[in-house]
Structure 1
Amino acid sequence: MDQPSEELYSILREICPTGETVSANQPLIQMNQKNEHLILLHEGWIRVGTRSGESIVQEAPSILGEISFVAGGLATASVETASEAVISRIPFEQLNALKEEGQTFHQVFSELTRLCIQRLSGAYHQHYFALVAHDSRKADLITLVNSHKDFFGERSLVTTENTGLEIAEKTGLKVARRVRTGVLGGDQQIGALISEGLISAVIFLRDPLWAQPHSADVNALIRICELDNIPLATNLASAEAIIRQLENESHAPLRE
């Protein structure tokens, strides 16, 4: 997962050494509204909602609101706590006051700009393991995940919306990133992550007996897995094979 450098985090912590405890599901930043604070996440988890309909979970330590500070304008995403969290809020005017210190402001601004670039490119995590299932196969996927909970618990999972909600509810695992449902373009969004080099493997349990309204998107996702040589499982036997292979490689990523 993308995290601020220790040096940047230390500088910002000195500016605002005290924190506040916030309960789960509380809004911190509202999309398309003015944001005037940089938020330091010291403990807990937050959930980022993007304009493309994705939901991305981040854990502490993390920094939020950096795009509003660097680029100005309205917030480009919404942020809420996904668990009880400890945060600090640093007003932008307090950060701008660092300009008098020259080198410190340059260092902070450069590091925050780096975070902006990484996050705008979608690189919230180094690699994702994609899990998708059609409605008639979701129970099979849940059984698979529960059978290999330690394996999946060590990975950053990306799922389509409904699949991710069921995984979180029925396995207790955290889903790092949820894209839209398949019919609303979720399969295309996972394909885009593959093209950016952010997916290490895909398990997509399809229903072979029923035509899907978004079959073209499904076929496109399979095609890009083939083009980029991404391990792809479309049934339980091939899914087990991918899991065993990764376990034999001591959890090393399949793609750098």
Structure 2
Amino acid sequence: MTVHLNKNRLVVLLAATLSANATMAASPVGNASAWDLAVHVNLIGLAQLDVGAQTSATLTNVLASASDSQTLPSAAFSSPLNLITLSTGTLASDAEYVGGNMSAIAARSSVEDLALGAGASVLSLNAGVVTSTSSLAGICPDPVRATSSLLNDFLFFSNFDTGNLVSGGGGGGDGGGLGGLPPGGGTLVDPVVSILGIPVPGLPLNPAPNTNVDLAALGIVGATLILNEQTTTGDGVHSLANATNAIHLTLNVAQLVTADVIIAHSEVSLACP
């Protein structure tokens, strides 16, 4: 599985029309990380399951085109006496950076045939496919020697093009990105969730960013369920970072039954040196 990014879009700086010294130069520094799952469940001290990422892809401080990918055909775990069980089909994590006049970076994680169960009816989480994708693109112009302080202050914005780093959509930034960037965010296929014996109906397949499922309305207390959990940081000019958890479930019943489950995580960042 490879994340394909479009490198053919160029950003034309208005500064280039006003100064012969305006040039496109340094590529932004890229970082990316993707991993499949992190599952921590404890049942009243009788059983505990702690499972970290089984596949992961990482790019650290890259400036030239690079990629990383890892795939596992299946995984299975259980606590003593099988009080807590976790199994999956194919797990995959990918990251890719493409440098150039327009640099782009993406990360994606996916979990197939997810099945998590705890106790007779404490927790059940199943899905056909869970996917998380994060992507960014942008440029870092060379410093521009403006002809006046007026231009420098109000046009060149300290030598960065306003909004020169953009996301691929799906929660954060302008939500649109540049042509060719994959849509960001989390998607689900056939999600089925039951908590404390109560089924959670109507889960969306393409949830909006930070969809907080109202569990209290179902009579489920001490639990949270967030789909397509999004975090965006940076000013979009000097730096920008996006992170996505396709599913994030927490449970705390009087400190006796606790769970923190993240399925399909991806994150990317670009920063101008």
Q: Which TM-score applies when normalising by structure 2? A: 0.21
Larger Cα-atom Rg = 2
Bigger relative contact order, structure 1 or 2 (CA pairs below 8 A, ≥6 apart): 2
Greater helix fraction, Structure 1 or Structure 2: 1
Whichever structure has more strand as a proportion of its residues is: 2
Q: TM-score, normalised by structure 1?
A: 0.22
